[in-house]
Amino acid sequence: MVSQVPGLLKLDMNSPLPNTAYRSQGYNMGIVAVLEKAEDLPGYTTHPAHSRVHELRSEVCEGESLAFDLEFPA
């Protein structure tokens, strides 16, 4: 997806570390997308590649998901 979505610099996914998994509130997977700037978020969320990943997540994952956005100063 990184080469397909404008502004997407990095996309990673992983499971909680075993020694802190008790804090995960039942979530067993996390996905982090790093965008070049906050203004790239609308293009990322509506991009067809993101939509395909979202559909796959819905098929594979059971229950609720949690999504939020953070901005870090440069």
pLDDT tens-digit series, residues 9-44: 999 999 999 999 999 998 888 889 999 999 999 999
CA distance 8 to 26: 28
Q: How do the domains of the chain map onto residue ranges?
A: 1-16+29-56
DSSP state letters, 10-35? EEEEEPPPGGGGGGSTT---EEEEEE
The pLDDT value recorded for residue 69 is 92
CA distance 1 to 50: 8
The pLDDT value recorded for residue 21 is 94
β-strand pairing of 8-14 with 30-35: antiparallel
| Structure-token match 């997540």, residue found | 57
